[in-house]
Structure 1
Amino acid sequence: MKGSIFFVLLAAILWGTTGTAQALAPDTAHPIAYGAMRLAFGGSVLFLFVAFQKKLTWANWSYSHLLLAAISMACYQPFFFSAVKLTGIAVGTVVAIGSAPIIAGIIEWAFQKKKPTKYWWSATGLAITGCIFLFLNDSTVTIQPYGIALALGAGLSFALYTLASKQLLETHPPDVVVAVVFTLSAVLLVPLLFFYDLSWLFQVNGIVSSLYIGIVATAIAYIFFVRGLHGIRASTAVTLSLAEPLTATLLGAFFVGEMLTGLTWIGVTFVFLAMVVLGKQPTLGTEK
């Protein structure tokens, strides 16, 4: 249980760097093309990794869950990066990741008959409250309804990806699940690349940013995430992913030089308390 929480938190920390990585990419990098390249690099590395280890197999897959996970992840990329482009890193990340645990908990409750635990309710409430305080830090933000809608679409996509991946982990190792899902997702997005200018990819900051977000913030991060899913509920894992906006905020403070207000530190404290609450949760199977 504790190890599972650690892996999911580590994944969320790496995801927290994606907004900064996108900001460092050339201005001509369209969000949809950037998201597609993220999956292309990440999926390729993962596929080669499991193929080299001879762990790849096409037997015993639940193809309905595989397709749902792949489509969800393919949709998440343009939704998330477009939302960040329109609303800014803070708002886009907070709305996307902040809505995901609520959606995941509701889906588990409605379709899998898994009533959310008191720990999930408490942690989700604390984390979302913290994210609200993080959001309030940016007084210059302009709320764009379309951008918010895209961020909510990203939250739904992430929740569905997590729930579907949880089912796939019952029959296949974490690295194989991520490799197959992300490779299929990349294939689904490849046709979109023909509609966008990719010249930015040949600039130094373009290729470096793409390689980083594909290999580190995708391939490695999602292996950590699905490995952590083994010992905790999908809704709990999604709540833990709220460490992503926390990471993004702290990176802005310590590496970009952004000033953190008192409201921001209150938000950081709430999100941290949410992680503590989930850390106290009983082992999967004994939750009440």
Structure 2
Amino acid sequence: MKLWHYALIVFLGGCCYGILSTFVKLAYLAGFTVPAVTGGQYLFGVVLTWLAVLFTKKKKLSLKQTSKLILSGIPFGLTGVFYYQALQTLNASLAIVFLFQFVWIGALLEWVFHKKKPTLIKLFSIALLLIGSILAANILFQKQMALSWIGTFWGLLAAITFSTFIFLSSSVEKATPPILKSALLSSGGLITVFIIFPPTFLFDLEILVGVIPYGLALGIFGVVLPPLLFSIGMPHVGSGLGTILTASELPVVIAMSSLVLAEPISMPQWIGVIIILGGIISSNIRSGNSNKKSLYTQNTTC
């Protein structure tokens, strides 16, 4: 596949995360608690992923490789937990802006660990994404908005763990088949969530049956698809560009809120969405040109 194919795969992984908030709101409106919704999401997602593994070609992994992938799934589980904690004391609009800081944290991780200094184009794209996120979250035009230092702390922790998960998806055990890698990453996330939110809902048949539709939807779009798509695309695009591509989450959040929940979306929010998409496109045009240039250089030196 070409580089833009892998970029599109990572972009779609970010879109999957954008779908989650709509189903979470619907689950809360139906009366389900955060532990039940979060636990159901990871439980059903992990079960579905391992079922898919049964129908794929098997590859034997050592205990060390398996352990590395399961441990790499810890940030995956922590992101949801930290983001929920942020929502306890922060307005949802502010919380998502703090979460959105993962776009520059990912570039920083790539610079520190892979020695890939961000280009001016990448920095410009990140700036566009941050400006777009502020507009899309509509925080400039809200009359009352309380800033909590505790909420800010949890929101930034969620950004750190999310960017860490993206970084690990691009660098840990690259040769592992994507579906198996996704299953092990998700299992690490499930263990983390169950440690923090003990799965008591499993022992209440009424709650367990009721949460199944939401757990399946959240499991597919939040646990099955993102790790799988990231496992396929991230090793090829890198964590720096990968974090920019996953910014597709916020435009999908806005679109789903408008189309499914019928929430009013202001013009500045739509402008923010356009700016975010512009930032994603600008980073990929530059990456595409750089990739072609490197291929041309290789061909001329051969």
Query: What range describes the TM-score normalised by the shorter chain of this pair?
Result: 0.7 to 0.9
Query: Are 1:117 and 2:119 matched, yes or no?
Result: yes
Percentage identity across paired residues of the two chains = 19
1:56-75 deviation line (CA, Å, top 9, x unaligned): 53238546752542221121
Unaligned runs of 5+ in 2: 296-302
Query: Are 1:148 and 2:152 matched, yes or no?
Result: yes
Which aligned pairs between 1:155-170 and structure 2 lie closer than 5 A? 155-170=159-174
Which aligned pairs between 1:26-65 and structure 2 lie closer than 5 A? 26=28, 29-59=32-62, 62=65, 65=68
Q: CA deviation at 1:193?
A: 4.3
Q: CA deviation at 1:142?
A: 3.7
More helix by share: 2
Match of 1:21 in 2: 23
Bigger mean CA deviation after superposition, 126-135 or 35-44: 35-44
1:167-215 deviation line (CA, Å, top 9, x unaligned): 22522122221111111321333344437556573363x2211110002
In structure 2, distance between residues paired with 1:178 and 1:84: 27
Query: Are 1:201 and 2:207 matched, yes or no?
Result: yes
Bigger mean CA deviation after superposition, 68-77 or 154-163: 68-77
Q: How many residue pairs end up in the alignment?
A: 285
AA in 2 matched with 1:221: P
Match of 1:79 in 2: 82
Give TM-score scaled by structure 1 length: 0.87
Q: CA deviation at 1:253?
A: 2.0
In structure 2, distance between residues paired with 1:3 and 1:169: 21
AA in 2 matched with 1:123: S
AA in 2 matched with 1:13: C
**Coordinate RMSD, CA, aligned:** 2.7
Give TM-score scaled by structure 2 length: 0.83
Bigger mean CA deviation after superposition, 100-109 or 276-285: 276-285
Match of 2:224 in 1: 219
Q: CA deviation at 1:84?
A: 3.8
Bigger mean CA deviation after superposition, 132-141 or 178-187: 132-141
Bigger mean CA deviation after superposition, 273-282 or 136-145: 136-145
Unaligned runs of 5+ in 1: none
Match of 1:131 in 2: 133
